[in-house]
Structure 1
């Protein structure tokens, strides 16, 4: 049981984890990025292996290949807003389906995400009494790594129906706390191209060895 799961058992707020896999993968040649093989497994499998122990349930937002995504063993759903409207559409669909009051997101193309991501976001969200906590390394915010309150679903839907698509613009309407992960900057790398995939494949065995120390 993870640290967060243990806290939940003690009566703290539960968290739904969402794998965001609803994009078109245009820079990867139009393939479903999370299903691309990395070190012998789909890239998303590496993300899920890191995210699942940090949350109380996992759900997957994917707009293509539903059977392949269902094979991971978690509920799969597409965007409710048509036209590949971006990660905010995936977040909205997740907020509408989450079983728990808090929702944590991670993209399917970031296989090195921090093992303490959700715990640190959760602590900051509660301390600041914020609506949303977002990861940041130095001057770079990572908006697809966030923890937010499920009750923002209607607010986000109104933003999307009004034509809003940019995450930072929506965040600007909320009480947001930024959470520094300067000590784990490399963990937020995402893989968009075949060259980046090759580099990650070469580094993944080393990353596993370092985690085992």
Structure 2
């Protein structure tokens, strides 16, 4: 392995699939079980993310037995933040993750990058984030940046690489009743990771129209 590459054995990553929303734009259905190309969206997310991570968690607040039957641990929003948006799921995932680093993805992006974690780890390595995390463990400061995906045109803040040392700041942010992911990590050190060469990988299916459009355009 090149010296410029992070060692995945030293820096294992937990994958967290966010499937805990109310699905309002999808008519209130549990979005993870909406079918795209004869397979539920949650299955597409697992297929893409599972080979990239050491462990996998699913964030869900409904259909819990159905999600558990997929064979991965399921975490739910804390009662005080139930259905408070993706940040509540991220908080639950950070609290439950067996590793220090967690990659988050939404359940409604069936084409998510197959090299998502590799690129995040490379960016974190280049930024010295692993050393910063070690320093934070010893001294409490500084914390490593939060890394988010950018397709060359716009950010995709649900796609994150985050260290669980940021859980206290996330809990404090949620306590203010704010919910925007980028507003939270905007208060912290953060870095964009470019995926400009594969922008279509972030196409999502958060309403029936986008689901139909993706089905029509992707061959």
Q: TM-score range by the shorter chain?
A: 0.7 to 0.9
Cα distance in structure 1, aligned partners of 2:8 and 2:118: 12
Pick from 50, 53, 70 the counterpart of residue 52 of structure 1: 50
The alpha-carbon deviation at position 90 of structure 1 amounts to 0.6
Pick from 24, 31, 34 the counterpart of residue 36 of structure 1: 34
Quick check: 1:132 aligned with 2:131?
A: no
The alpha-carbon deviation at position 195 of structure 1 amounts to 2.7
Q: Which deviations, in whole Å up to 9, do the C-alpha atoms of 1:49-103 show, x marking residues without a partner?
A: 0000110000000011101111211011110143411111110000000000100
The alpha-carbon deviation at position 139 of structure 1 amounts to 3.2
Counterparts of residues 181-192 of structure 1 (less than 5 Å) = 181-192=195-206
Aligned length: 198
* TM-score, L = length of structure 1: 0.88
Pick from 163, 171, 182 the counterpart of residue 168 of structure 1: 182
Cα distance in structure 1, aligned partners of 2:115 and 2:151: 14
Aligned to 1:94: 93
Cα distance in structure 2, aligned partners of 1:200 and 1:68: 25
State whether residues 203 and 214 of structure 2, in contact with CA within 8 Å, keep that contact through their aligned partners in structure 1: no
What's the secondary structure of 2:205's corresponding residue? coil
Aligned to 1:195: 209
Pick from 63, 66, 70 the counterpart of residue 64 of structure 2: 66
Aligned to 1:110: 109
Provide the aligned C-alpha RMSD in A.
1.6
Cα distance in structure 1, aligned partners of 2:217 and 2:44: 13
The alpha-carbon deviation at position 15 of structure 1 amounts to 0.4
Q: Which deviations, in whole Å up to 9, do the C-alpha atoms of 1:141-199 show, x marking residues without a partner?
A: 10000101011111211111122211111111111110111111010011022232233
Aligned to 2:8: 8
State whether residues 148 and 193 of structure 2, in contact with CA within 8 Å, keep that contact through their aligned partners in structure 1: yes
| Stretch deviating more after TM superposition (171-180 or 104-113) | 171-180
The alpha-carbon deviation at position 137 of structure 1 amounts to 1.3
Gaps of 5+ in 1: 1-5, 207-213
* TM-score, L = length of structure 2: 0.85
The alpha-carbon deviation at position 202 of structure 1 amounts to 4.3
Structure 1 consecutive aligned stretches of length 4 or more whose deviation exceeds 6 Å = none
Cα distance in structure 2, aligned partners of 1:60 and 1:33: 13
Cα distance in structure 2, aligned partners of 1:133 and 1:168: 11
Aligned to 2:135: none
The alpha-carbon deviation at position 7 of structure 1 amounts to 3.8
